[in-house]
Amino acid sequence: MKKLTISSISLGCLLLSACASQTGWTPTVDTYNNRNAYRLNQDMQECQQLASHASGGTAKETAIGAGIGGLIGAAGGAALGAIFGNAGTGAAIGAAAGGIGGASKQGFQSEDRYKYAYNSCLRQRGHSVVN
């Protein structure tokens, strides 16, 4: 059962980190009346790097969330499992559920921080960001 739980958490983390990846998304910038339009490509590359650094990286944050969620879920599951007669099974189920839930929460929060940092960087450099 323990191998199944570890496999479930690992698979869940991989799937969630793929869903919440920071690649492929770019803000929409309106270049009309933009005095800095000639610098947009350079600014976008620099802001992308800064945002990635500021957010902590989706894969890393997802792994942290999975670990913390798994520990909390295992503790809660063990307590409930003990009440119903099998603490080990309860801990395994709790760890899997907590790990997947924690991973998704951290991954999505990291993605939101990435987008916010990216948009803020471009705005501070004088670009009109639409989204």
- Inter-residue contact 130 to 30 (CB < 8 Å): yes
Condensed to tens digits (0 to 9), the pLDDT of residues 24-44 reads 789 999 999 999 999 999 999
Determine the Cα–Cα distance for residues 61 and 105; give it in Å rounded to an integer: 9
In a domain, 91, yes or no: yes
pLDDT for position 91: 73
Q: Give the mean model confidence (pLDDT) for residues 1-20.
A: 50
Residues 6 or more apart whose CB falls under 8 angstroms from that of 22 comprise 51, 52, 55, 57, 58, 110, 111, 114
- Reading the block at residue 103, the tokens are 């991973």
Determine the Cα–Cα distance for residues 65 and 72; give it in Å rounded to an integer: 11
pLDDT band at 130 (very low <50, low <70, confident <90, very high): very high
Helix residue ranges per DSSP H, the chain: 2-19, 40-55, 58-84, 87-124
Q: How many domains, the chain?
A: 1
Determine the Cα–Cα distance for residues 70 and 35; give it in Å rounded to an integer: 50
Is the model more confident about 21 or about 38?
38
Condensed to tens digits (0 to 9), the pLDDT of residues 65-79 reads 676 767 676 666 666
- Would you put residue 84 in left (φ > 0), alpha (ψ -120 to 50) or beta? alpha
In a domain, 73, yes or no: yes
In a domain, 114, yes or no: yes
pTM of the model: 0.59
In a domain, 123, yes or no: yes
What is the domain range of residue 111? 59-131
